[in-house]
A = this chain, B = another copy of it.
């Protein structure tokens, strides 16, 4: 079946990274398998950060290896730097994102690099990927995080985000993504940023958004994204996760709610909502007591979704 919108499930990475308790590797793999079976086309399965900094992600290579056995799944991962990228390539990730915080203060706190140092690191990543055989080379995306504002710096100038997207494009990244790390974004801001980046870098350079629902605006921003023509939207099963380094920034978009809205609008995600809702049980069993969110999970799927003449 062809799909209109690719939902990239980020729960196993963005969701879990903000949880202290380690989810056993087997449970992660069961989650990923179940969510793939429900029709999820892309899953961000882990992060290649130093295990001592984030023990939750120590098994990233094992999880990638499992995810690669699921035929048709795009296996995405996050890396903080060249060292992580090397590990991701060795593990066999199909897609790698490196977050590049538009707030320099946040960047320094998060990865201890200023903007010049991050641009240099991205350049080294591209140079390394040039040495990787085509068959093993993942797609390389730079995630423009805190693009909508920063809990530490406050507003982030849009001109800076656009300028950084241009620099990253010139360095040879395959794509940039817009990340509302802090849940500050609004639909008009998303449109301005997207149009600015498309105009500066070319339409092909930006196709994905990572939105949060911190102020309840996640699905409104998602609606604007699909209206603008974005084709990949990140979300998290049960709304698990946030960014532990951006204080007060919590609340990924809930995958179940996003699927419901898009499918009700007639946009195909390839995901079976009832099977997706059933995947929550795996999280509940592996992380007992961990709060899971979701309006559709609470209210149920409406009788006979979709319009009638």
Chain A positions within 8 Å of B, measured between CB atoms, are 149-151, 153-159, 182-184, 186-189, 192, 213-217, 219-220, 222-224, 248, 250-251, 254, 257, 260-261, 264-266, 294-296, 299-300, 302-304, 306-309
Contacts and interface: CB of A to CB of B under 8 A. Distances in A.
Contacts of A214: 295, 299
A213 B184 CA distance: 20
Contacts of A189: 264-265, 307
Contacts of A215: 257, 260-261, 295-296, 299, 302
A260 B217 CA distance: 9
Contacts of A183: 299, 302
8 contacts: A149-B302, A155-B306, A157-B309, A158-B307, A189-B265, A216-B260, A216-B295, A223-B223
A264 B294 CA distance: 24
Contacts of A251: 295, 299
Most buried by B among A216, A224, A296: A216
A183 B257 CA distance: 12
Taking chain A's interface residues, is the majority helix, strand, or loop, or is none over half, making it mixed?
loop
Contacts of A300: 248
8 pairs of A and B residues whose beta carbons are closest in the complex: A216-B295, A154-B303, A186-B264, A216-B257, A188-B265, A219-B220, A154-B304, A220-B223
Contacts of A257: 215-217
A215 B153 CA distance: 33
Given A183-B299, A189-B307, A216-B257, 11 more contacts: A155-B308, A159-B309, A187-B223, A189-B264, A215-B257, A215-B261, A215-B296, A216-B294, A220-B223, A223-B224, A251-B299
B151 A303 contact: yes
Contacts of A266: 188
A303 B265 contact: no
Contacts of A299: 183, 214-215, 248, 250-251
Contacts of A157: 308-309
Which of A156, A251, A299 lies at the interface centre, i.e. has the most chain B CB atoms within 10 A of its CB?
A: A299
A217 B261 contact: yes
B307 A192 contact: yes
